[in-house]
Structure 1
């Protein structure tokens, strides 16, 4: 008995006839009949009740059919698991990160993931959250960090709710207090992200609602450059709080009332993630959850 015989046997059972099964398998009916007869001879039983118009399984045939389906399903599962293991030994993850995240804890996450999966290649695209969203939707990257509402075309996992804070030089007058009204912050000279970046759009929208036209001293898509310009006392910049952890060269000032952004990791809906991408997704979720549980325990992170 081999897998080919079992497949032929199940086709006859499902089609309830030799002719239909032969047509579906694209083989001669005589060859199919010989295969079934050999299987019956090998087992020493009759597997089908052969009628003039259709055939049906005997009791012995019913038993074999149940086992045959389990065997073939097991073979498919074995192939899939082997393929998944091979995918973790050699595969690629294409991920999109916003400038601040690529400069903060993602380098640690990526390096630790790479040590756990040395055979996988990591391709990182640094873009605005909006561009990352479009690239995931188009399939140019496998997954990425997006901000705010998740479109219907994507599946996602919410990662964090992070505070948006103002970043100023330690000698700046606003650095003397831990928080200031948003209107006060928006009236300062700003060092901004370029248009198209989600944080820039949020700040500009808040300014419009306040009737303020921000004085933009410089703009860039480089997080490290914007932070350096703040250190040079060119102006105030808005960042995610995580980006200024343990940075003694700048002062962090909260908005009053506080301002938050929701960040999620997203991938294309109804698309099967490769083993490499699934492993990376699970790793990111676990690492970020651990990080924020520690911050919550320390009382430095607000619950959503």
Structure 2
């Protein structure tokens, strides 16, 4: 029995799907299948029922999953103890980015980490807030930036600052946007957001105040895609204030001069990992570079 087999077992049990487990573990689906088969042969029992909809734990698998989790937790505890015994902090730090890297201070933090903890290998992964929170729960990444509130009790967040947002539309719509009410804005076509997108949270005060929700011409939860669609004339949307004002100055967007919107920006991590040295280093460095930037 190998530790990597137990990690694969737990990942498949949580994802209930071989392909999703492979993506989470950054390996191939045949490798995941081989790990499970080898573990089942070692233990002498079937761990999963293979169904058309995915992988379902057997009764034996449910019992053994708890044992596997306990072994993995003990292994991590031993690794942490070894880290504390070493003078130099080492390990991997995988951070999810939900927005433009410059706004998230990725270069200053990388410099800070290199100077303070050169033995830590840092990697950045571009994503979106909702996916980052799910990846933190699954252990795919170690930390990540997200907008808005966090619906997952397993995740803690270090508040960094309030992000200023605006509602912007195509430059050709300036006469339809400037000086009008929320009711008029909401009646126009929108590039909307899926339910999990935090931009919905930013709109809540306006919807409560005006009693109307915008209709959507299309959906997107990617900032660059939203910007492209708005500039192309698809509809209005929420955008980062600084970026939208720059685009307005260049003549590619028009910004609504109504109510300002905000969302909190936080750095998330799994609560159970708070005391790990690498997580502590990340929290210290992220807090310092944002504090220095004002």
Q: Same fold (TM over 0.5)?
A: yes
Counterparts in 2 of 1:92-171, with a 5 A limit?
Answer: 92-98=92-98, 100-102=99-101, 104-109=103-108, 112-113=111-112, 116=115, 120-150=120-150, 152-171=153-172
> Do the aligned residues in 1 keep the contact of 2:194 with 2:219 (CA within 8 Å)?
yes
In structure 2, relative to structure 1, the CA distance for the partners of 1:123 and 1:80 (3 Å cut) is closer
In structure 2, relative to structure 1, the CA distance for the partners of 1:211 and 1:272 (3 Å cut) is closer
Indicate the residue corresponding to 1:253 in structure 2: 255
Deviation at 1:176, TM superposition (A): 7.3
> Do the aligned residues in 2 keep the contact of 1:163 with 1:260 (CA within 8 Å)?
yes
User: What SS is found at the alignment partner of 2:259?
Assistant: strand
CA distance in 2 between partners of 1:222 and 1:84 (Å): 41
In structure 2, relative to structure 1, the CA distance for the partners of 1:154 and 1:239 (3 Å cut) is same
Indicate the residue corresponding to 1:233 in structure 2: 233
Larger radius of gyration: 1
Deviation at 1:160, TM superposition (A): 0.8
CA distance in 1 between partners of 2:105 and 2:175 (Å): 30
- State the TM-score, normalizing by the size of structure 1: 0.55
> Do the aligned residues in 2 keep the contact of 1:192 with 1:216 (CA within 8 Å)?
yes
> Do the aligned residues in 1 keep the contact of 2:167 with 2:239 (CA within 8 Å)?
yes
What RMSD, in angstroms, separates the aligned Cα atoms of the two structures? 3.6
CA distance in 2 between partners of 1:131 and 1:176 (Å): 32
In structure 2, relative to structure 1, the CA distance for the partners of 1:239 and 1:112 (3 Å cut) is farther
CA distance in 2 between partners of 1:172 and 1:142 (Å): 43
Indicate the residue corresponding to 1:173 in structure 2: 174
Indicate the residue corresponding to 2:48 in structure 1: none
Gaps of 5+ in 2: 1-81
> Do the aligned residues in 2 keep the contact of 1:166 with 1:236 (CA within 8 Å)?
yes
Indicate the residue corresponding to 1:281 in structure 2: 283
> Do the aligned residues in 2 keep the contact of 1:135 with 1:141 (CA within 8 Å)?
yes
> Do the aligned residues in 2 keep the contact of 1:182 with 1:255 (CA within 8 Å)?
no
Across the two proteins, how many residue pairs are aligned to each other? 210
User: What SS is found at the alignment partner of 1:212?
Assistant: coil
Q: Which range moves more in the overlay, 108-117 or 130-139?
A: 108-117
1:181-231: CA deviation from partner (whole Å, max 9, x where unpaired):
433322221123334211145437854874435332232233212212222
> Do the aligned residues in 1 keep the contact of 2:273 with 2:279 (CA within 8 Å)?
no
1:242-280: CA deviation from partner (whole Å, max 9, x where unpaired):
444644444463564332211211212242454444333
Q: Which range moves more in the overlay, 250-259 or 131-140?
A: 250-259
In structure 2, relative to structure 1, the CA distance for the partners of 1:224 and 1:113 (3 Å cut) is farther
Indicate the residue corresponding to 2:265 in structure 1: 263
> Do the aligned residues in 2 keep the contact of 1:165 with 1:252 (CA within 8 Å)?
no
